A and B are shown apart, each in its own frame.
Chain A
């Protein structure tokens, strides 16, 4: 089975994606991750204004199979949270790269994105 890995964004080894748009980065989890987790039933996210740190947990995702931490791909302040996921966590399964997004983070250091995996590198990891 092959998974989508859009090449407009970068990836964490721990399966989060980061999509840059100007000075903010939108964050979610990959198609592979949502498939591994199975039906997502709950997502816990930080509040707008909180700081997250690259490589450290920013939230929790729970599926019918497992509970996992979510790891921030970049460091910065949370500028937006996808509150729709609180009532409709299934969006993470249905559209992980679109409506299933989780956070927007104000980018403090653009170089941080260079430490992430390119789409083809991530695709190799989950192949």
Chain B
């Protein structure tokens, strides 16, 4: 596949104008049936026809690159194609009810949520699940608060959370935000948790160890049972970051490994759209002992009827109503459509695809074999340059420069959605770039709508709304 991205600019070489700039006539306010003191003379709302609006957003999408455009192997982020049928399910009007409706009048909605709690609980090996947290990181924060409430309830003041160096940045942030001191755990030589380092880090102050398994290098933590025993012997709890759950679906369950709390990234594992700042969902599962601390309310089923209840020692609410309904509906639809065999098949293909691609690329891949993702090294090349150049070959680049355990990391996760033809296209892109010189890399990207972005300038000169443009 050859690639040239659409590029819409005006005569001054500026990209597709903002809606506010396309605004052709001020909204007509003369006929507003309101008293004078409630109206104003001008209202800076863009006044455009529907085709103008549709073209604006279509042009922007043409200058973007998404998983609907081509492969998107962003490691540790499980960029799955979002099946369009889930949009149809989410659009069913009967589901769009006011969140404060009485439980007896929304039995269908509650049944769906109850079943999703049940599905997720069984997938993760957890006894109780809350659907309320509105994103993966919010799920982490919720899980950490549950752990804190549990220890405090037991009169056990614990101030530290242990996080592996290679963990997602959100783990450190969630722990710190909940008021804990973060103890950073150095990785072992084989890319896994070093048990001696863990032993040294554990103490009577340890509230929680946060892990993802397979870890950020795509390696399974083989010593997970021993790790679990060590943490529990120290009186701590074990937290599972669900970022890499796609590798395990239907094959292994965090609950069976000894994890006490986990969050699910439904946008990663269950193919709902990535929030991108919009509504998401990060359900949290816990073992029985922690269920009384979950956010309120929870959905329960009694004598064939669905109802809401507040867990006894609930940490309170972490989001409005029962969570982001439309996202949860899509996750439910995906799980129901695939069923047990489908989910298990998805993880098998995700692992197969990652391992196949790892063998097809010329960059050094220092660890392995892998689960659902692998980390290659760009060697003497700058991983950020490699990423920019890969765009010119019509593929999205992998995650770069992270985890830092591999120099100039190219962290790659093709997921189960790609077939062999597309994996080979991805490998060709990697290998073409691997053989290019510094000049070609520095000039990239050349075929995209926007060329090299001035990241530093963007961070130094923040413009957080279109109104800021007027200040220039």
Contact = CB atoms under 8 A, between A and B. Distances in A.
A42 B459 CA distance: 8
Main DSSP-derived SS at the B contact region: helix
A64 interface: yes
A39 B455 CA distance: 9
Interface string A64-83: 11000000000000000000
A41 B460 CA distance: 5
Indicate the size class of the contact surface on chain A: under 10
A90 B459 CA distance: 12
Interface in B392-422: 401
A90 B457 CA distance: 10
Interface string A48-92: 000000000000001011000000000000000000000001100
B456 interface: yes
Contacts of A64: 455-456, 459
Contacts of B401: 65
Contacts of B456: 39, 41, 64, 90
Interface string B445-472: 0000000000110011000000000000
Nearest to A62: B459
Nearest to B460: A41
A61 B76 CA distance: 27
B401 to A, nearest CB: 8
Interface string B418-457: 0000000000000000000000000000000000000110
A48 to B, nearest CB: 24
Interface in B376-398: none
A65 B455 CA distance: 10
A56 to B, nearest CB: 14
A90 B456 CA distance: 10
A47 B237 CA distance: 41
A39 B458 CA distance: 11
Contacts of A65: 401
A87 to B, nearest CB: 9
Contacts of B460: 39, 41-42, 89-90
Contacts of B459: 39, 41-42, 62, 64
A70 B252 CA distance: 43
Contacts of A39: 455-456, 459-460
7 contacts: A39-B455, A39-B456, A41-B459, A62-B459, A64-B459, A90-B456, A90-B460
What 6 A-B pairs come out closest when comparing CB atoms?
A: A41-B459, A39-B456, A41-B460, A64-B455, A64-B459, A64-B456
Given A39-B459, A41-B456, 15 more contacts: A39-B455, A39-B456, A39-B460, A41-B459, A41-B460, A42-B459, A42-B460, A62-B459, A64-B455, A64-B456, A64-B459, A65-B401, A89-B460, A90-B456, A90-B460
